Amino acid sequence: MGKDKRDDIHSAEVKCNLKEKGALLTEVMTFRSGRKKPKSGLEKVKAKASGPTKVDDKVTGAKGRTAVCGGLDPGNYTVTLEFPDDMKELYDVDGSTTSDTKEVQKRKTQTYYFEVPWFWLEHEVKYPDNKTFATDIGYVLRHKKPAPPDAAWTQHSTGRTANQKVDLDKVPRGRYRLELKLVYDPAWGGRKVVVDQDIELTATVSGFDPGADGAFEIRDAHTPGTVLHKLDVKVAEDVGKTKREIKTTWKPAKAQLKDLKSAKVVFRAVVSDASVFSEPVTVFAKEKYDVVDEDGNKLDTVVELRFSGGHIETKTAVGGVMEVLFPWNETVARIDMPGYKGKHISLDEGGIPVRRFLMPQ
């Protein structure tokens, strides 16, 4: 049975009608904000078109283009982009044009162009001369989402500073804070260390979370490679929560200082591989003395002691009793008695624990 001529007529009518139709497609490109080139296609973006002819939603492919929507009656069509939620975090959707209206003409394909930049950041660490890079310092890059307002800072990435800028493309929107992993501003709680007396040790910390392990290492100031004593600590917020620190109280004992060869100690404050040395301070041991005359009478008098390391201690004996702070590993080199000029004074160190100054009459 032959082909029905009415089918040929119908096909011709369809072809004729299609010639009176138009088409559209959508192209979405992305780039680094502030740098228009190079650009690349942004895929997985939904394009919704509305106009005289109903159009099915299309999704951009690898080159940022949708398939062509044909068979459209001529007229104005509006294309609106819809982005997945996770994409809104990486691309500046709110700051970009995401809807456009154009005329689709018969026998022509109308292209809708959109450009959406991605979020990015760069960071570098230099010395105050602003020319020389500070290298090989650990850092943590923290991120805070724009909402809610009280969103917490979270760790985005970590690394070590290099001899160049660090570029990060397509980062989540929000605020960023670069923290160097440092331990600095070491401080003794006093100008001297006294055996059997508490002293506070502190250091400021950045880049490390509260609870991170740290330590204070007590070392000989003249041979700092030797650790005399170690105090384990944790990183904590200070009282005002304006900084992080490590802090402890040390009550030095003679047994802890048995290997101290000089009269001074330093401490090394350390968290992970970041550390800092304190200034040196002198270690003193407190000794008690009786000050008596040759007949054994207890005296009230001023005594000036000069030690082998150059330290001078001036003390007043009251009721024949005097406490003296001796620099560690130093000896008395000279004794001056303002009230006994021109007379010799003997120091009896055999009477430990109560030593004796024997005053001539």
- Per-residue pLDDT tens over the stretch 14-64: 454 667 899 999 999 999 987 777 899 999 999 999 999 999 999 999 899
DSSP string for residues in 256-293: GGTT--SSEEEEEEEETTEEEEPPPEEEEEEEEEEEEE
Q: Topology of domain 285-359, per CATH?
A: Immunoglobulin-like (2.60.40)
Compute φ and ψ for 44, nearest 5 degrees. 70, 25
Lowest mean pLDDT among 132-136, 306-310, 317-321, 352-356: 352-356
Using 50, 70 and 90 to split pLDDT, how confident is the model at 309? Answer: confident
pLDDT at 9 over 50: no
Highest mean pLDDT among 15-29, 225-239, 292-306, 332-346: 225-239
Lowest mean pLDDT among 104-113, 232-241, 248-257, 352-361: 352-361
Burial class (CB in 10 A: 0-12, 13-18, 19+), 191: exposed
Average pLDDT in the 324-329 region? 88
What is the domain class of 5-115 according to CATH?
Answer: mainly beta
CA-to-CA separations, 176 to 126, 144, 191, 298, in angstroms, rounded: 18, 6, 40, 71
pLDDT at 176 over 90: yes
Q: Taking the mean position of all CA atoms in its chain, how far away is CA 185?
A: 15
> Residues near 194 by Cβ (< 8 Å), separated by ≥ 6?
252, 283, 284, 285, 286, 325
Length of the chain: 361
Q: What percent of the chain has pLDDT over 70?
A: 89
Q: pLDDT tens-digit profile of 190-244? A: 999 999 999 999 999 999 999 999 999 999 999 999 899 999 999 999 877 789 9
- What is the average pLDDT score of the chain? 89
pLDDT at 276 over 80: yes
Rounded CA-CA distance 332/261 in Å is: 17
Rounded CA-CA distance 219/225 in Å is: 7
Which tops the pLDDT comparison, 277 or 337?
277
Same fold, 5-115 and 285-359: yes
pLDDT at 145 over 90: yes
Rounded CA-CA distance 118/89 in Å is: 9
> Residues near 65 by Cβ (< 8 Å), separated by ≥ 6?
25, 26, 27, 28, 41
Task: Provide the residue ranges of all domains of the chain, joining segments of one domain with +.
Answer: 5-115, 121-180, 182-279, 285-359
Lowest mean pLDDT among 24-33, 182-191, 347-356: 347-356
182-279 CATH: 2.60.40.1930
